[in-house]
Amino acid sequence: MAYIGIDLGTSAVKLIIMDRNGSVMRTVSKDYPNHFPQSGWSEQDPLDWYNRTIEGLAELIVGFEHQIEAISFSGQMHGLVLLDEHDAVIRPAILWNDQRTTAECRYLNEDIGIDTLNRLTANKALTGFTAPKVLWVRAHEPEHFARINKIMLPKDYLLYRLSGCFATDVSDASGTLYFDVEHRCWSAAMLDILGIKEQQLPKVFESFQVVGHLHAELAAKLGLPANVKVVAGGGDQAVGAIGTGSVDDRMCSLALGTSGVVYVATDTFTPDNTNAMHVFADGSGYYHIMGVMLSAAGSLKWWRETVLGNSNYSGLDGELAASQDNAVFFLPYLSGERTPINDADARGLFIGMDNATSSTDMTRAVVEGVTFALYDSLCVIRNMGIQVDTVRVTGGGAKNNFWCQLIADVMHVRVERLAQEEGPAYGAAILAAVGSGAFADVRSACHQLIQVQQVLEPSDTRVSYYRKKYGQFKEIYPSVQGLYKTLLSR
**308 plus 184 within the same structural domain:** no
Confidence label for 282 from pLDDT (cuts 50, 70 and 90): very high
3 state SS of 488: helix
Mean pLDDT of 463-475: 97
**200 plus 251 within the same structural domain:** no
Q: What is the pLDDT of residues 400-452, one digit of tens each?
A: 999 999 999 999 999 999 987 778 999 999 999 999 999 999 999 999 999 99
Average pLDDT, the chain: 94
**Cα–Cα distance, 422 to 434 (Å, whole number):** 18
**Cα–Cα distance, 41 to 47 (Å, whole number):** 19
Residues facing residue 70 across a β-bridge = 3, 229
% of the chain beyond a pLDDT of 70 = 100
**377 plus 253 within the same structural domain:** yes
Report pTM: 0.90
Q: β-strands 12-19, 24-31: how paired? A: antiparallel
Q: What is the pLDDT of residue 490?
A: 57
Mean pLDDT of 187-200: 98
Domain count, the chain: 2
Q: What is the pLDDT of residues 311-363, one digit of tens each?
A: 889 899 999 999 999 999 999 999 888 889 888 788 999 999 999 999 999 99
Asked whether the beta carbons of 275 and 290 are under 8 A apart, the reply is no
Q: What is the pLDDT of residues 41-71, one digit of tens each?
A: 999 999 999 999 999 999 999 999 999 999 9
**274 plus 333 within the same structural domain:** yes
Mean pLDDT of 355-383: 96
**Cα–Cα distance, 116 to 107 (Å, whole number):** 12
Asked whether the beta carbons of 130 and 153 are under 8 A apart, the reply is yes
**193 plus 157 within the same structural domain:** yes
3 state SS of 275: coil
3 state SS of 5: strand
**Cα–Cα distance, 373 to 291 (Å, whole number):** 10
Is 290 labeled as ligand-binding?
no
13-22, 413-422, 467-476: lowest mean pLDDT where? 413-422
10 Å Cβ neighbour count for 458?
A: 19
CATH number at 206 reads 3.30.420.40
At 331, which amino acid appears?
L
Q: What is the pLDDT of residues 151-167, one digit of tens each?
A: 999 999 999 999 999 99
Q: Annotated catalytic sites, by residue?
A: 236
**98 pLDDT more than 90:** no
Q: What is the pLDDT of residue 336?
A: 85
Domain membership of residue 54 as a residue range: 2-237
**459 plus 382 within the same structural domain:** yes
201-215, 273-287, 331-345: lowest mean pLDDT where? 331-345
Asked whether the beta carbons of 138 and 196 are under 8 A apart, the reply is no
Cα 453–455–456 angle (5° rounding)? 140
Is 78 labeled as ligand-binding?
yes
**Cα–Cα distance, 9 to 95 (Å, whole number):** 11
**390 plus 341 within the same structural domain:** yes
Asked whether the beta carbons of 171 and 236 are under 8 A apart, the reply is no
**207 plus 303 within the same structural domain:** no
**Cα–Cα distance, 490 to 488 (Å, whole number):** 6
